[in-house]
Structure 1
Amino acid sequence: MIEPAADPSRAPRPAHFEPVRIAVDAERSVSALLQVPPEARSCFVFAHGAGAGMTHPFIAAVADGLTDRGIATLRYQFPYLERGSKRVDPPAVAHATVRAAVAEAARRLPGLALVAGGKSFGGRMTSQAQALEPLPGVSGIAFLGFPLHPAGKPGDERAAHLAQVTLPMLFLQGTRDELADVELTRRVIVALGSRATVAWFDDADHSFHVPAKSGRTDADVRAALLDTLAGWIGDVTG
């Protein structure tokens, strides 16, 4: 029996992938990568952590995983990494970069709902920017490992600004995260009330790595994280 030829019109369309440049101010611009799957209805404006940029395997895997779940991403660099520096930008520069990235996503994807956030430092800079002045068009903020305090120095001062964030917030946290004591993090989230949602990943560290004895792989954790993030984005963007 001869099988009928496949209908090209029914073949899955590939995601749009585009390197872009974002102007932060008259003196600075940063690199970014835009990924837009077919039929996307929302976009995650995604900032990297302090130690690694937007092409780090974890950041890339999250962007790819959201693409697979029908969510666009705009991931971008902070200026210090563009310069090749290891010292993070002053908050004002980081906040301006977050705002520029959100504005670029809105300009390029005018029909899509926006959520912003990021890994560690990137998520914290996003929420600080929102606390100072609302990010236009953003429906919620997601933290992939909120860095509540330096390793070995428990405290909650870094969360003080979250009281001024009125948007829904999602905290994706590992129970072995050295930058987020579990009990302190729980107290912070409880104090935020209904605005805050948390998902705990047992045995995961700040990089969402789990030891072999946990019975799971990093890929297992990442898949669960992506399912949670995608579901929450769907909820807050309608």
Structure 2
Amino acid sequence: MTHSETHSEVVETDAGAARITWHPAKQARAVLAVSHGAGGGIEARDLRAIAATLPAHGVTVALVEQPWRVAGKKVAPAPKTLDTGWRGVWPALAKPGLPVLAGGRSAGARVACRTAAELGAAAVLALSFPLHPPGRPEKSRADELLGAGVPTLVVQGGNDPFGKPAEFPRSTAYELVEIPFGDHSFAVPKRAGIGQEDAVKRITDAVVAWTGAPGMLST
């Protein structure tokens, strides 16, 4: 896919104007819609890598910027408002008539989990799911993850202060892939046994394998 094939559109929602940047596959079999977290935008390393990789595997990637980011605000609004923004872009995501996989990193992953069943998402991709606030494991958000109601892939850094892989509840409701030594943004320290490029490739490899699994997009 060449850069000229990417395009953006602004979508009006009840939370304000959102923006979708499309990275189309030539012969798409699904749309993977991914939104950002509360502390950054679609320039996050994992989102960029997924957008660059998945179209070659038949999955159109739609990077979604929530209205607060489009408006230039520094602080994310309440979860309810994030859900409103996500709901508002859904018709545009579903317009191609393909199965839509709802995804996001951090706060965006929570939004995808909370709204998946309601919106008819085929699956959920949760990147750096914030299982709890740093240092507050008692404030678990596991119910959001477990309540997604659709096939779910969690990709989590081994050193994520918002929830290390071992802290996640054992459940058949989701699959978890660990990125060794990765923090909440999947950055890996120099002492790690893998380099940054390898860490990012492990993310994209996991997502490619997940979206290509037999029966994954048959529902």
Paired residues for 1:45-124 under 5 Å: 45-107=33-95, 109-110=96-97, 112-124=98-110
Query: TM (normalized to structure 2)?
Result: 0.89
Q: Confirm or deny: 8 A CA contact 1:139 1:168 kept in the other structure.
A: yes
1:199 aligned partner, one-letter code = V
1:184 and 1:99 mapped to 2: Cα distance?
Answer: 30
Q: Confirm or deny: 8 A CA contact 1:115 1:233 kept in the other structure.
A: no
Q: CA deviation at 1:92?
A: 2.1
Q: CA deviation at 1:57?
A: 4.3
**Higher relative helix content:** 1
1:64 and 1:101 mapped to 2: Cα distance?
Answer: 22
Query: TM (normalized to structure 1)?
Result: 0.83
Aligned counterpart in structure 1 of residue 118 of structure 2, from 134, 141, 148: 134
In the other structure, the counterpart of 2:165 is 182
1:102 aligned partner, one-letter code = W
1:14 and 1:106 mapped to 2: Cα distance?
Answer: 23
Post-superposition CA distance 1:128-181 (Å, at most 9, x none): 223xx5213x11101111011112222353222334321111111111111103
Q: Confirm or deny: 8 A CA contact 1:127 1:162 kept in the other structure.
A: yes
Aligned counterpart in structure 1 of residue 199 of structure 2, from 202, 208, 221: 221
Runs of 4+, deviation exceeding 4 Å = none
The 3-state SS of whatever aligns with 1:19 is strand
The 3-state SS of whatever aligns with 1:212 is coil
1:98 and 1:152 mapped to 2: Cα distance?
Answer: 29
Q: Confirm or deny: 8 A CA contact 2:39 2:75 kept in the other structure.
A: no
1:201 and 1:56 mapped to 2: Cα distance?
Answer: 16
Q: Aligned in 2, Cα 1:57/1:221: closer, same or farther, shift over 3 Å?
A: closer
Q: CA deviation at 1:211?
A: 1.6
The 3-state SS of whatever aligns with 2:23 is strand
Which segments of 5 or more consecutive residues in structure 2 lack a partner in the other structure? none
**Residue 201 in structure 1 maps to residue 184 in structure 2:** no
2:126 and 2:200 mapped to 1: Cα distance?
Answer: 14
1:196 and 1:165 mapped to 2: Cα distance?
Answer: 9
Q: Which has the larger radius of gyration?
A: 1
In the other structure, the counterpart of 1:233 is 211
Q: CA deviation at 1:59?
A: 2.2
Q: Confirm or deny: 8 A CA contact 2:156 2:164 kept in the other structure.
A: no
2:113 and 2:82 mapped to 1: Cα distance?
Answer: 11
The 3-state SS of whatever aligns with 2:77 is coil
Aligned counterpart in structure 1 of residue 20 of structure 2, from 16, 25, 32: 32
Q: How much is the aligned-residue C-alpha RMSD, in angstroms? A: 1.9
Which segments of 5 or more consecutive residues in structure 1 lack a partner in the other structure? 1-12
**Residue 146 in structure 1 maps to residue 129 in structure 2:** yes
